[in-house]
Amino acid sequence: MKFNFNNNREVVALLGAGSMGLSIVERVAQNRIVLLGDVNEKNLAASADKLRYTGYEVETMQVDASDKQSIYAFAKRASELGAVKYYIHTAGASPNQTNPQHIIKLDLVGSAFALDAFGEVMARDGAGLLISSQTGYMLPEPLSNEVEYALTMTPADELEKLPCLSSEAITNSGLAYIMAKRANQLRVRKAAMDWGKRGARINTISPGIIVTPLAYDEFKAAGEAYQQMIESSAMSRVGNPAEIANAAQFLLSDQASFITGTDLLIDGGTIAAIKTGAYKLQIR
Residues with active-site annotation? 177
Cα Rg, the chain, nearest whole Å: 18
Give the other-Cβ count within 10 Å of 158's Cβ.
Answer: 10
Give the other-Cβ count within 10 Å of 164's Cβ.
Answer: 16
Rounded-to-integer distance, Cα 111 and Cα 104, Å: 10
Closest CA to 7 of 82, 105, 59: 82
Residue type present at position 59: E
Closest CA to 30 of 256, 249, 243, 242: 249
On whether the CB atoms of residues 264 and 204 are closer than 8 A, the answer is yes
Q: CB-based burial of residue 52 (10 Å sphere; 0-12 exposed, 13-18 middle, 19+ buried)?
A: middle
Contacts of 96 (CB under 8 A, 6+ apart): 173, 217, 218, 220, 221, 222
